Amino acid sequence: MPRLIDVISHPNVMDDELVGRLPPQGDGEFRMGSQCIVNEGQVAVFVRGGQVMDSLGPGTHTLTTANLPILSTALKLLTGGKTPFTAEVYYVNMKDLPQVTWGTNPPIYMETPGKGPGFMLLQNRGVVDIGIEDPIRFVKQYGMGKSQLRLGDIRERIQTVLLGTITSLLSKQQIQNLQAANALIDDLEAGALALLNEDFVALGMRIKSFQAQGFSVKDVTQQDIINYGGNTDTMEKMRRLDIAEKAAQNPGMAGTAAGAGLGFGVGASIGATMNPDQAAIQQQLQQQQMMMQQMMMQMMANQNNQNNQQPPAAQAQPPANPQTKEEIQAMIDSLDMKLANGELSEAVYNKLVAKWEERLKQLGG
């Protein structure tokens, strides 16, 4: 049976603590007339039977029907107003938590129609100052039933909501290049935090400040193009680059220096194609690509003469540009697996699945 508590307080708050329950083991026994001490930067939330009843701000409070009206009403209905009563008290830390780090893992997907593979993968990192805005909502969402809740317990949730919000803002404002994406980040840093805080209201939290290093573009791999359903022409160029790079590393191919020069020229050409914010592809790079095709044919002929073994079969992957119902369904199944493995963010997953499901409907699926 819980022991009667005449004075309750929670003075020793850890730096990263969000919520602390008293008593830690659960229900405590109180009575009208007990004292509840709430320090500056705290709110005490009373919970009984799994339901939030009342809250008290900073100060020394003598528990009465006046400052616990909801709990008092419940007690009168259940016990005829007799005391003592059992309840849990959750102390919520209302102080800001500064320098909470965030980063784009996985990167943010941004469409760039008609440019390179048709999308960019944006990388960024920074810090936010965040705090609890609505203690009752926050306790309902995350604190209930826990003896203590610390920042590390919900850091992943904060990261997911933050990146989802930034991705949504990029999409709503139809941003399709690196310069415009960084302009959005500058606006958020300059104080346009209302755009970020729309989704944090549901958590009972609020971002007080936001800092970022600026977006950079991740180098897109063949696997990325398969994952995100990008331009298959770009994937073919990347396959050719792989062959050229392997040839450059093979001392038996027409000289190491020539092979290295070939790989460098193709790399520059494809790099410019993949990143639409870089300078346009120059005529010289087009000539290098033609040379690459001729030399590649010669190198492949030499390889056939030197080694008649067939290369191992590549692992089956969904087509980069599915056309049939079966291929589209295989792509959707692969997206499910990548979401489960943490290779895609939830926002990107939802966007891509919606895209392929719409195409499936068009085919009568």
pLDDT in tens, 56-87: 999 999 999 899 999 888 877 555 555 688 99
Is 254 part of any domain? Answer: yes
245 pLDDT more than 70: no
Q: Are 101 and 213 a contacting pair, CB within 8 Å?
A: no
341: confidence class by pLDDT, cuts 50, 70, 90: confident
pLDDT of residue 101: 92
pLDDT of residue 252: 53
The one-character DSSP state at 84 is -
Question: What is the CATH classification number for the domain harbouring 175?
Answer: 3.30.479.30
Which of 40, 73, 93 is a domain's end point?
93
The 10 Å Cβ neighbour count of residue 354 is 10
Both 279 and 300 in a single domain?
yes
278: confidence class by pLDDT, cuts 50, 70, 90: very low
Stretch 345-357: mean pLDDT: 80
Residue-wise pLDDT for 126-146, tens only, equals 999 999 999 999 999 999 999
Which of 10-19, 157-166, 243-252 shows the lowest mean pLDDT across its residues?
Answer: 243-252
Is 18 part of any domain? Answer: yes
Both 16 and 82 in a single domain?
yes
pLDDT of residue 233: 61
Whole-number Cα distances in Å, 108 to 28, 272, 347, 348: 47, 20, 9, 8
Which of 38, 58, 93 is a domain's end point?
93
Both 102 and 87 in a single domain?
no
How far is the C-alpha of 249 from the C-alpha of 253, rounded, in Å?
9
Q: Which two tokens stand for residue 122?
A: 């944006």
pLDDT of residue 289: 60
β-partners of residue 70 are none
Both 101 and 85 in a single domain?
no
Is 312 part of any domain? Answer: no
Is 311 part of any domain? Answer: no
- The reported pTM is 0.65
How far is the C-alpha of 346 from the C-alpha of 297, rounded, in Å?
43
Both 54 and 156 in a single domain?
no
Is 51 part of any domain? Answer: yes
Question: The domain containing residue 177 runs over which residues?
Answer: 97-217
Is 187 part of any domain? Answer: yes
pLDDT of residue 152: 93
Both 213 and 148 in a single domain?
yes
Q: What angle do CA 10, 16, 20 make, to 5 degrees?
A: 30
CA atoms lying within 13 Å on the CB side of residue 104 = 22
Residue among 150, 147, 133 at smallest CA distance from 47: 147
243 pLDDT more than 70: no
β-partners of residue 148 are 20
> What integer best gives the mean pLDDT of the chain?
79
Is 19 part of any domain? Answer: yes
Both 202 and 150 in a single domain?
yes
- 240 or 162: which carries more pLDDT confidence? 162
Share of the chain above pLDDT 70, in %: 72
Tell me which amino acid residue 216 is.
Answer: S
Kind plus residue range of the DSSP H or E element containing 327: helix 325-340
Which of 66, 93, 120 is a domain's end point?
93
Q: Which two tokens stand for residue 75?
A: 């007690």
Which of 174-178, 192-196, 267-271 shows the lowest mean pLDDT across its residues?
Answer: 267-271
280 pLDDT more than 70: no
Both 172 and 237 in a single domain?
no
Stretch 174-180: mean pLDDT: 89
Both 142 and 252 in a single domain?
no
Is 115 part of any domain? Answer: yes
Which of 239-243, 297-301, 319-323 shows the lowest mean pLDDT across its residues?
Answer: 239-243
Both 255 and 202 in a single domain?
no
Both 29 and 51 in a single domain?
yes
- Number of domains into which the chain is organized: 4
- 349 or 211: which carries more pLDDT confidence? 211
Stretch 289-306: mean pLDDT: 62
Both 101 and 167 in a single domain?
yes
327 pLDDT more than 60: yes
